[in-house]
């Protein structure tokens, strides 16, 4: 049989693209690749932790995996595969498919799967998660990121306050390679900020420490910055970097080591900023956690903490809070383990408490995990839709089977 | 199943575009302005990098500055000095400094560093280098034996060889022995290191265990 020649003229490209993206073969290739990426991502999780593996393998377009730790191979990342699968399923299972009554079930099921994929995309693009820690009596609407660190530079007043800052955002700062020099500028400040030797996890070590001898970093004010292997628990990483503030008016650059460990780890303490002066104005610089606000304030009224007798395991901890919102009545409520507060698109979970090693009766802070995901309930509804579609398909198939069975002539009686 | 070039072409195009989208931006950018008015931020003003890095140095004996390790109000280290061992003055890097041996030729000290103190691997290999031994891999360090320190398992290092202290010292001490414990965590690292002529260290190995197990923190 003679092979049909494919028309590759530009005018035929839309048709070719449609054929490609709606083909069942593409779906199969995507499923195989998803299996491979899932396998490698799961294995990588053991070595590098859940968050790092998730970002590398599932939130990416392309991923480089080192097979057996040595052979680099390029694979499409989970994000690219999901997008291709979404397009493929939309074209192949919704648009291209022949519309007939017995195909209603699969159509609904595929719509549910598309909803699941769309929900995943919305979560990836728009969901936020962070935490809010409060001592009794404290009130706040500010949520801090667990993992995202940013560089903040600000004019400091004499009493150590600042009302505005210039920020190198986490997506830029945390993407700087350790051997890269990164220059950040703004016409509003009389100096440029130069970042060197950024490390996702680091410790400043005094040069008097013997181990400092083998550390290649530059000595600044009696310290060197020693990079460490990133923790498998991404929240525990404390990044650090060398910075130079280069005055535009000329003169010697001001050098410093900035380390995330100078940030606050107790809700009552303040971050310790590196202070410097340019053109007579005092400035501060700090590595700080990315933060954002929610449209209401939460005050912790009481934190209840009970331990199992004789052991250090917590038996129960819960928070009594009051929610304040402009134009709304103040609302008193409780946030307990497995009983979060859901309000205005945000969910406050009772997450943990501190300081570490506290006992009942000590003054303690309560920490809430604060999640905001516009597609929070989509997976549930997607599964319901998919289930309904499969149910309808099953019923239709059953009816068809019964009807077919009835139409069959009765078998002749056996002699 | 066969794949025609015409079918795979759009995939190649898509991959090329996605690869292009993965490139990182240039090495220069503009800072983003944030207005904090209405909820201005407060910062702790500190005098030195040491304070900013939460590093509490320990002044040498005779200093009037209260020490983190020896303040009468704060936590301090307690320990039992083995019989025949002698107290030596503490220094900025040594919380406890002891000597032993007929002529005081052996020394044993306890030091603390913030964070992991440069990491377990680096410190083990630094000690091995001082004794002329080959460096270990991370897996080999992880497999080192452990002994208790502050009630937690600390890596135990025992080395024999020619000892060179480094830190600018070119002198090499032949036939030496090093016993050490390293307890490294993100909260801080503690080092106990004993060095001396091999015979003297062998005689005091039991005393080393007694000493390390007696080290504790007192809040009084």
Q: Does B37 sit within 8 Å of A163, measured CB to CB?
A: yes
List CB contacts (< 8 A) between B166 and chain A. 210, 213
Query: What does A190-239 look like in DSSP terms, one character per residue?
Result: SEEEEEEEEESSEEEEETTSGGGGG--SPPBTTEEEEE-PPPSSGGG---
* CB-based contact, A190 to chain B, within 8 Å: no
Looking at residue B121, its pLDDT comes to 87
List CB contacts (< 8 A) between A206 and chain B. 50, 55, 57, 113
- Dist CA A329 CA B162 (whole Å): 77
Whether A201 contacts A239, CB under 8 Å: yes
pLDDT band for position B186 (cuts 50, 70, 90): low
Q: Does B31 sit within 8 Å of A272, measured CB to CB?
A: no
Whether A232 contacts A48, CB under 8 Å: yes
Work out the minimum CA distance from B183 to partner chain A, whole angstroms: 15
Q: Write down the ipTM of this complex.
A: 0.76
Q: Does B49 sit within 8 Å of A257, measured CB to CB?
A: yes
Looking at residue B76, its pLDDT comes to 67
Ramachandran sector of residue A160 (left: φ over 0; alpha: ψ -120 to 50; beta: rest): left
pLDDT band for position B117 (cuts 50, 70, 90): low
Q: Which chain A residue has its CA at the smallest distance from B56's CA?
A: A206
List the single residue in A154, A228, A275 with the smallest CB-CB distance to B116: A228
CA A59 to chain centre: 9
B42-95 pLDDT per residue, tens: 998 888 888 898 875 544 343 333 333 433 444 567 788 888 898 888 776 788
Q: Is A165 helix (H, G, I), strand (E, B) or coil?
A: strand
List CB contacts (< 8 A) between B36 and chain A. 162-165
Closest to A386 in 3D by CA, of A108, A165, A47: A108
List the single residue in B25, B36, B48 with the smallest CB-CB distance to A163: B36
List CB contacts (< 8 A) between A246 and chain B. none
Work out the minimum CA distance from B101 to partner chain A, whole angstroms: 25
- Res. B167: pLDDT tops 60: no
- Res. B139: pLDDT tops 70: yes
Torsion angle (degrees, nearest 10) of CA B62, B63, B64, B69: -100
Q: Does B114 sit within 8 Å of A221, measured CB to CB?
A: no
B5-56 pLDDT per residue, tens: 344 444 444 443 344 333 344 478 889 998 886 677 899 888 888 889 887 5
* CB-based contact, A1 to chain B, within 8 Å: no
A294 forms beta bridges with: none
- Dist CA B145 CA B149 (whole Å): 13
- Dist CA A11 CA A2 (whole Å): 24
Note which residues in 24-63 of chain A have CB less than 8 A from chain B: 25-26, 28, 60-62
Q: Does B118 sit within 8 Å of A226, measured CB to CB?
A: yes
- Dist CA A96 CA A107 (whole Å): 11
Q: Which chain A residue has its CA at the smallest distance from B17's CA?
A: A61
Ramachandran sector of residue B161 (left: φ over 0; alpha: ψ -120 to 50; beta: rest): left
- Residue A113 φ/ψ, nearest 5 degrees: -65, -40
List CB contacts (< 8 A) between B126 and chain A. 210-211, 213-214
B127, with CB counted inside 10 A (0-12, 13-18, 19+), is: buried
Whether A290 contacts A169, CB under 8 Å: yes
* Cβ atoms < 10 Å from Cβ of A385: 19
Looking at residue B13, its pLDDT comes to 41
List CB contacts (< 8 A) between A55 and chain B. none
Q: Does A209 sit within 8 Å of B93, measured CB to CB?
A: yes
pLDDT band for position B164 (cuts 50, 70, 90): confident
Looking at residue A355, its pLDDT comes to 83
pLDDT band for position B153 (cuts 50, 70, 90): confident
Q: Does A211 sit within 8 Å of B117, measured CB to CB?
A: yes
* CB-based contact, A186 to chain B, within 8 Å: yes
Q: Does B18 sit within 8 Å of A76, measured CB to CB?
A: yes
Looking at residue B6, its pLDDT comes to 41
Closest to B12 in 3D by CA, of B2, B3, B24: B3
For residue A387, give Cα distances in angstroms to A92, A109, A110. Answer: 20, 7, 10
Note which residues in 333-372 of chain A have CB less than 8 A from chain B: none
Digitized pLDDT (tens) for each residue of chain A, 415 residues in all: 556 677 778 888 889 999 999 999 999 999 999 999 999 999 999 888 888 899 999 999 999 999 888 899 999 999 999 999 999 999 998 998 888 888 999 999 999 999 999 999 999 999 999 999 999 999 999 999 999 999 999 999 988 899 999 999 999 999 999 889 999 999 999 999 999 999 998 888 887 776 677 777 889 998 899 888 888 788 888 999 999 999 998 889 999 999 999 998 889 889 999 999 999 999 999 999 999 999 999 999 999 988 777 666 777 889 999 999 988 888 999 999 889 999 988 999 999 888 876 777 788 999 999 999 999 889 999 999 999 999 999 999 999 999 999 887 666 666 6
Work out the minimum CA distance from A327 to partner chain B, whole angstroms: 19
Looking at residue A52, its pLDDT comes to 87
* In the block, residue with structure tokens 């080395």: B159
* CB-based contact, A222 to chain B, within 8 Å: yes
Query: What does B164-194 look like in DSSP terms, one character per residue?
Result: EEETTEEEEEEEEEEEEEEEEETTEEEEEEE
Q: Is the peptide bond before A355 cis (omega within 30 degrees of 0)?
A: yes
List the single residue in A61, A205, A209 with the smallest CB-CB distance to B21: A61
């Amino acid at each position: 049989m003679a092979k049909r020649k494919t028309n590759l003229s530009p005018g035929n490209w839309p048709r070719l693209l449609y054929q490609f993206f709606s083909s069942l073969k593409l779906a199969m290739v995507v499923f195989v690749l998803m299996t491979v990426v899932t396998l490698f991502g799961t294995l990588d999780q053991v070595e590098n932790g859940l968050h790092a593996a998730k970002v590398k393998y599932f939130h990416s377009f392309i991923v480089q995996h080192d097979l057996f730790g040595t052979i680099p191979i390029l694979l499409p990342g989970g994000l690219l595969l999901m997008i291709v699968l979404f397009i493929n399923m939309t074209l192949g299972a919704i648009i291209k498919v022949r519309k007939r009554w017995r195909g209603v079930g699969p159509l609904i099921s595929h719509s549910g799967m598309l909803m699941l994929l769309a929900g995943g995309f919305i979560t990836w693009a728009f969901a936020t998660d962070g935490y809010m820690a409060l001592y009794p009596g404290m009130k706040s609407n500010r949520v801090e990121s667990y993992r995202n660190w940013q560089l903040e530079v600000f004019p400091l007043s004499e009493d150590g306050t600042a009302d505005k800052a210039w920020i190198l955002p986490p997506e830029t700062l945390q993407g700087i390679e350790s051997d890269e020099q990164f220059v950040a500028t703004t016409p509003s400040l009389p100096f440029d900020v130069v970042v060197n030797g950024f490390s996702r996890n680091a410790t400043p070590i005094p040069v008097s420490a013997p181990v400092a001898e083998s550390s290649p970093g530059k000595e600044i004010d009696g310290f060197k910055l020693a990079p460490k292997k990133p923790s498998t628990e991404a929240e525990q990483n404390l990044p650090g970097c060398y910075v130079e503030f280069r005055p535009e008016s000329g003169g010697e650059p001001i050098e410093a080591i900035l380390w995330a460990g100078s940030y606050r780890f107790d809700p009552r303490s303040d971050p310790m900023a590196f202070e410097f002066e340019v053109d007579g104005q005092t400035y501060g610089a700090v590595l700080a956690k990315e933060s954002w606000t929610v449209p209401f304030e939460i005050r912790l009224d009481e934190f209840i903490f009970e331990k199992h007798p004789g052991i250090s395991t917590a038996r129960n901890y819960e928070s009594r809070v009051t929610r304040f919102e402009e134009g709304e009545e103040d609302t008193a409520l409780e946030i307990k383990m497995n009983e979060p507060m859901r309000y205005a698109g945000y969910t406050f979970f009772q997450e943990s408490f501190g300081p570490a090693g506290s006992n009942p009766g000590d003054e303690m802070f309560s920490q809430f995990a604060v999640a905001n995901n516009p597609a929070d309930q989509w997976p549930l509804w997607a599964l319901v839709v998919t289930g309904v579609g499969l149910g309808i398909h099953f019923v239709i198939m059953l009816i068809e089977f019964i009807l077919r069975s009835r139409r069959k002539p009765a078998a002749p009686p056996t002699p | 199943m066969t794949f025609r070039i015409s079918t795979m072409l759009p995939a190649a195009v898509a991959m090329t575009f996605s690869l292009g989208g993965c490139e990182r931006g240039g090495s220069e950018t503009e800072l983003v302005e944030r207005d904090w008015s209405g909820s201005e931020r407060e910062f702790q003003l500190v005098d030195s990098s040491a304070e900013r890095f939460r590093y509490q140095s320990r002044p040498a004996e005779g200093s009037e500055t209260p020490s983190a390790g020896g303040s009468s109000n704060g936590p301090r280290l307690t320990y039992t000095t083995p019989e025949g061992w002698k107290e030596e003055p503490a220094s900025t890097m040594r919380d406890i400094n002891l000597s032993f041996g007929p002529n005081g030729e052996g020394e044993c000290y306890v030091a603390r560093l913030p964070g992991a103190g440069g990491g377990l691997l680096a410190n083990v290999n630094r000690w091995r280098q001082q004794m002329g031994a080959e460096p270990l891999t991370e897996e080999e360090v992880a497999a080192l034996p452990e002994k208790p320190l502050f009630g937690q398992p600390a890596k135990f290092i025992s080395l024999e060889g020619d000892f060179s202290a480094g830190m600018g010292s070119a002198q090499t001490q032949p036939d030496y022995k090093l016993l050490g414990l390293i307890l490294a965590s993100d909260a801080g690292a503690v080092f106990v290191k004993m060095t001396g002529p091999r015979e003297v260290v062998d005689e005091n190995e039991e005393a080393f265990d007694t000493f390390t197990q007696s080290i504790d923190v007192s809040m009084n």
